[in-house]
Copies of this chain bind each other. A is one copy, B any other.
């Protein structure tokens, strides 16, 4: 039914920016070792791959290479990642997370998740499962990725 697809799109357009704003605000609030949302996502990806390139980051995050370059600049400046020339193809850089980066990631993840968890505690068990399941549906639809089995 076309109607339901449109309604769902309208809801996404209305609600997703609100949740996003909450996430940004929370991340900004705990910014002692704080990460912005793009920095956070970039770091997550670099950690997960264990050694990606700049183009890899750009493609994964849906950014242009210059944008990815600037975010990587910031992370490297704070020594959260290393950026080395690849031995095989000297045009490429290899990006890897440092122990400091892992720590910052754990902190940001923990603090922001705690704030989200507190909001979500108002939901019933049933609602919680519905939202969790919907996130999995949206992940598949918008990124083509399946859930990775970690944590």
Interface residues of A (CB under 8 A from B): 1-2, 4-23, 25, 37, 41, 61-62, 109, 112-114, 116-117, 119-123, 125, 127-139, 141-143, 151
CB < 8 Å neighbour of A119 from B20, B125, B142: B142
| Other A-B pairs, 20, CB within 8 Å; known A11-B131, A131-B138 | A4-B125, A5-B120, A5-B123, A7-B132, A9-B117, A10-B109, A12-B23, A12-B120, A12-B131, A13-B113, A14-B135, A15-B135, A16-B19, A18-B139, A20-B20, A21-B61, A22-B62, A22-B142, A123-B137, A130-B134
Question: 28 A-B pairs, CB-CB below 8 angstroms?
Answer: A2-B117, A4-B125, A4-B132, A5-B120, A5-B123, A6-B117, A7-B132, A10-B109, A10-B151, A11-B135, A11-B139, A14-B139, A15-B138, A17-B23, A17-B37, A18-B139, A18-B142, A20-B20, A22-B62, A119-B141, A122-B141, A127-B134, A130-B130, A130-B133, A130-B134, A131-B137, A131-B138, A134-B135
